[in-house]
Amino acid sequence: MTEREWLNCADPLAMMAFLRKGRPAFRTRWLGWITRPMVQVSERKWRLFYCACCARIAHLLPADEARRLITVAELYADGRASEEELQTGVNASMAACDAARHQWDRSFVAADDDEVSLIGWELGLLEGRSGVGSAHHAVLAISRFHREGESSRSLALQCAARASAFASAYALRMRRCSSPSPPPHEAPDWLSENAAETARQAELLREVIGNPFLRTVVDAAWLDWNGGTVRRLAQGIYEEKRWKEMLILADALEDAGCADDAFLSHCRGPGQHVRGCWALDRLLGKE
């Protein structure tokens, strides 16, 4: 993948595969070539990316406990929630969603289930006509598999992104037509809706990772300017999700002597900002 392809790619899975792709690093006598990922991405970054994907479909979740689980997973990624707190959130989310499902069954709202398999891993059932089953599985994928091995965890987290896109597109499709024919996952407009949501996830991945072909360096003078104004502003934006203040941060950076177009254009750009934003992470020293 070239830099131009990265900046224009609408497939987050292809971008993720590029980031994980190994390149020869050094050769050993007995093991041959040892490879390293093209770009070093921390588990924190990956988890926050999937949290952002799932937050986009929070309105599809059938219980407040499931929505709160996204927040707990964000805190866990930043080391501010324990595994016990995360597991408690998972248990509460599963119990609440199971109760909601039983309620739908009793009221005959859940008319049909459609078993979904995404990139080789069973996510479970799409319940009813809103995609909430897939949405809930997406949220569980960012939280429930933190103790698994690297390969299992990577696959589960990839499924979170795909399930998010599926759930969002499915919900849009079902709102347009209560009895679709052909099946919703084969209809042309479903495919376009799924592609649109997937493209938005690609934008989120660029928001979290940045441009892996461009090396950006934070000047300590920016952070020290005016008694640490830039650092305090960046910290407040990150902690309280005051994304509208990214424009103010850009002005503060410029006043501090920053002429790096990557930082300034990202802070002033129209794209969505989330926890894990590469510019904020660089300013705050987060990996």
**Gap between the Cα atoms of 201 and 207, Å rounded:** 10
Residue spans of the domains in the chain: they are: 43-209, 220-284
Is residue 158 predicted with pLDDT exceeding 70? Answer: no
Look over the chain and give the mean of its residue pLDDT values, rounded to a whole number. Answer: 77
SS3 string of 205-250?
HHHHHCCCCCCCCCCHHHHHHHHCHHHHHHHHHHHHCCHHHHHHHH
Kindly report, residue by residue over 129-145, the tens digit of the pLDDT: 345 566 777 777 777 65
Kindly report, residue by residue over 110-126, the tens digit of the pLDDT: 334 433 333 222 333 33
Kindly report, residue by residue over 94-111, the tens digit of the pLDDT: 888 777 766 655 543 433
| Cα separation values, 59 from 14, 66, 129, 130, 141, Å | 27, 10, 14, 10, 17
Q: Could you tell me the pTM of the whole model?
A: 0.79
